[in-house]
């Protein structure tokens, strides 16, 4: 408590404001109804409290700007390191598939180095080669930006221009995937094997 009050005394705030600000910090920034009422400037202390509050606002705005710049810097740093890690994992994955040991029964590769055991995991995804070749039964239509009146008159909505009605078409990837796995032919789609790196 004393440490917070000392930091606020840089702004030469009154004891009343110091007490309120310290309590707000203790509440992790939450401003209760009682505290909000306490921040109301009275006529009796108008001149002093307005001056003190403005000084506090200006100093705190500078702190917030600095904090935001630090957040931006850290986010950028994390993004850069994440990109490098992802690229390294991709490189290791390709190397293990070339030089590691392939499982005799499963479509997997393994490799050990030091205290680390590396391996691959496999998932299968659906790749849409050409949306125009996909039959309509594999598509779902979404119409957005319609009011309740529009929904009641959905047939009339067909006559609207594109700028009034948002229409998107989603591919039903899971049913397509299941059909392809059953051996059915779905024009415009195929199954793709995806491998990822596992480190233990």
Q: Are 126 and 176 in contact (CB under 8 A)?
A: yes
Domain housing 121: 107-199
Domain contains 7: yes
* pTM beyond 0.75, yes or no: no
Q: CA–CA distance from 133 to each of 129, 136, 142, 169, 185 (Å)?
A: 8, 9, 19, 14, 12
Which two tokens mark 51?
A: 């001056």
> pLDDT tens for residues 78-97?
999 999 999 999 999 999 99
Task: Indicate whether 145 and 187 sit together in one domain.
Answer: yes
Mean pLDDT of 144-171: 67
Q: Write the DSSP symbol of residue 185.
A: -
> Which of the listed residues 52, 73, 94 is the one where a domain comes to its end?
73
Domain contains 175: yes
pLDDT at 157 > cutoff 70:
no
109 against 13, higher pLDDT: 109
pLDDT of residue 1: 40
Mean pLDDT of 21-48: 72
Domain contains 139: yes
Task: Indicate whether 67 and 150 sit together in one domain.
Answer: no
pLDDT at 56 > cutoff 90:
no
> pLDDT tens for residues 111-152?
999 899 999 999 999 999 998 899 888 888 776 666 656 666
Domain contains 167: yes
> With bands split at pLDDT 50, 70 and 90, how would you rate the model's confidence at 183?
very high
Instruction: Kindly give, in sequence order, each residue whose CB lies less than 8 Å from that of residue 165, ignoring residues fewer than 6 positions away.
Output: 143, 144, 145, 146, 150, 157
Least confident of 64-68, 95-99, 132-136, 166-170: 166-170
Sequence-ordered alpha helix ranges (H) in the chain = 2-8, 15-26, 33-38, 46-99, 148-152, 154-157, 173-181
Q: How many CB atoms lie within 10 A of CB 130?
A: 9
Task: Indicate whether 63 and 138 sit together in one domain.
Answer: no
> With bands split at pLDDT 50, 70 and 90, how would you rate the model's confidence at 9?
very low
Total domain count, the chain: 2
161 against 81, higher pLDDT: 81
pLDDT at 181 > cutoff 90:
yes
């Amino acid at each position: 408590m004393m440490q917070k009050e000392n930091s606020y005394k840089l702004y030469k705030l009154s004891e009343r404001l110091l007490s309120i600000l310290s309590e707000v910090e203790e509440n992790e920034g939450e401003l209760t109804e009682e505290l909000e009422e306490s921040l109301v400037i009275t006529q009796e202390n108008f001149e002093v409290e307005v001056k003190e509050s403005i000084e506090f606002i200006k100093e705190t705005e500078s702190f917030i700007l600095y904090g935001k710049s630090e957040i931006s810097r850290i986010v950028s740093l994390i993004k850069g390191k994440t990109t490098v890690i992802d690229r390294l994992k991709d490189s290791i994955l390709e190397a293990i598939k070339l030089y590691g040991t392939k499982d005799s029964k499963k479509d997997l590769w393994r490799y050990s180095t030091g205290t680390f055991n590396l391996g691959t995991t496999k998932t299968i995804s659906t790749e849409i080669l050409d949306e125009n070749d996909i039959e309509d039964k594999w598509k779902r239509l979404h119409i957005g930006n319609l009011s309740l009146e529009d929904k009641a008159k959905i047939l009339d909505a067909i006559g609207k221009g594109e700028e009034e009605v948002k229409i998107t078409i989603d591919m039903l990837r899971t049913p397509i995937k299941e059909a392809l796995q059953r051996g059915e032919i779905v024009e415009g789609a195929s199954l793709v094997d995806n491998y990822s790196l596992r480190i233990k």
